[in-house]
A and B are shown apart, each in its own frame.
Chain A
Amino acid sequence: MEIKETLDCKGLSCPMPMMKLAKAMKGLNSGDVLEMLGTDPGTKSDMPNWCAKTGNELLESVDLDGGVTRMLIKKA
């Protein structure tokens, strides 16, 4: 799977990660995959809600060491 763009949201808290994500997704084409790295626990519940609303697909959400969560989102 090709990752089109990586969005670094480490250290940021609500609402910055979701705002940056929405902006980044606008620049992608349908089918493109974005990797998002973040440390705000809130993103874990915001992301499924946002994907359900926008039709984008959350492919993967994994907790890494250092409190970082890696999420892969495919644009609808």
Chain B
Amino acid sequence: MSNSSKDNNVLVQLFRTFFGKHWPVWVGGIVLGTLNILLFAIKSPWGASGGINNWGENFFSSIGLFNLTEVVPVNMNLYGMLCLLIVIGSFAGALFSKEFALRIPPKGELIKGLLGGALMAIGATVGIGCTIGSFFSGVPALSGGAIVFTVGLFIGVIIALKYLIWEMEKFPKWSSGKSYTFLAAKPEKSKWQIVLGVIVVISVGIMAYIYSGTNLTMAWFIIIGGLMGLISQRSRFCIVKAFRDPFMSGESHGAVGVMAGLLVSLVGFTAIKMFGIGAGEVGLRAREMTWIFPHFWVKGAVGGLIFGLGMTIAGGCAVGTLWRVGEGQIKLWMSAIGFLLVSPISKLFIVPAFDSILPQSMKFKSFLPDYVGYGGAFLIVILIILVWYVFVKWNEKTGKFSAF
């Protein structure tokens, strides 16, 4: 078969539409926002730091450290599996697009990955949540704490970006030196990555089918997690990018993509909460309070700031780290390791100490509709997104706040 007749095959064309080049970030944002609504309808919204913490607890319990009791095995923990499937889904996406390769950066970058991951773990445990749970899901869940967490994230990102620029000027050697790349596909001929991608997708399907007999919720989390990983990899959906780029290069693509996802989730989450969809035995109030964490305001702000520092140094937030792990970026493997190792330690030692000095008035659950009604809360979030949009677009034109 010649190349031209191959191009005429509608299935080949369809495959190329998905895997020939990257998707616009806003497409990824809208689809991820929609899948997030589906997760909430089935059980509860998207989160990432809890799942990575579950990996860490399993690690420490397997080596008998810290006396962790009642650790749920990863294969029985919905969010532990969701995170794992994001890695696997991204792996499949990277294979299909021949973008998978083990990329080992210079030493300094590996250390930054590890430190960034450790900081993210402290931020996520202190602030209860990450860029997904307390931002991409928390803001549409109409949580006041999530909005404060987001403000903290912004401040953390700006400080860490200034550090990165300073480091690049003063110590350029930290981010240069020997690097290695393994298992990269040859641009034209190589087919093994695509074949392996098919095997990975079939395996995920079988995994979901096996769970469907005993745990239907898990089966759906497996499918949605796989899709989320694949979509994140194809659209390069990254919340660090959304927060950082306006202050770095001034570009707004990443930010607009995240806003699109927030808007979609906002509509779906508000409807689920107002009608109590899926409330079942837990009751309407508990359903309304889903993803409203006791972190308003100092707890959320401090956690967000530490998380923002960590994700900027690592070059990937919780989900950005996970899908880059699937793509073979070893710096982000270090970030995931730092995250999973430090998260249980922070939960055991740092969080209790921090909580003991904070009065109750600085760490309570704040559900916006309790103060201003659903309409008011909905409008507040829309207004915040609108102001953010106008800011990034104005800044893109004028470059007032961008470093380069």
**Which A residues lie at the B interface, using CB under 8 A?**
8, 10-16, 18-20, 22-23, 39-42, 44-46, 49-50, 53, 63-68
Contact = CB atoms under 8 A, between A and B. Distances in A.
Nearest to A44: B22
Interface of B: 21-22, 94, 97, 99, 101, 103-106, 109, 164-165, 168-169, 175-176, 179-181, 184-187, 236, 238, 241, 244-245, 248-251, 253, 315-316, 324, 327, 329, 331-332, 396, 404
A63 B187 contact: yes
A51 B299 CA distance: 40
Contact of B179 (A12, A15, A20, A63): A12
Contacts of A53: 249-251, 396
A1 B148 CA distance: 52
A14 to B, nearest CB: 5
A67 B251 contact: no
A22 B327 CA distance: 25
11 contacts: A11-B103, A11-B106, A13-B316, A16-B109, A16-B168, A18-B248, A22-B249, A46-B251, A53-B396, A65-B184, A68-B181
A13 B106 CA distance: 11
Contacts of A12: 105-106, 109, 175, 179
Contact of B168 (A10, A23, A64): A23
Contacts of A15: 164, 241, 244-245, 248, 315
Given A8-B176, A18-B249, A13 B332 contact: yes
Given A11-B109, A39-B101, 7 more contacts: A11-B104, A15-B315, A16-B109, A41-B94, A64-B187, A65-B186, A68-B181
A15 B112 CA distance: 13
Contacts of B165: 19
B115 to A, nearest CB: 15
Contact of A19 (B99, B248, B327): B248
B109 A67 contact: no
A37 to B, nearest CB: 10
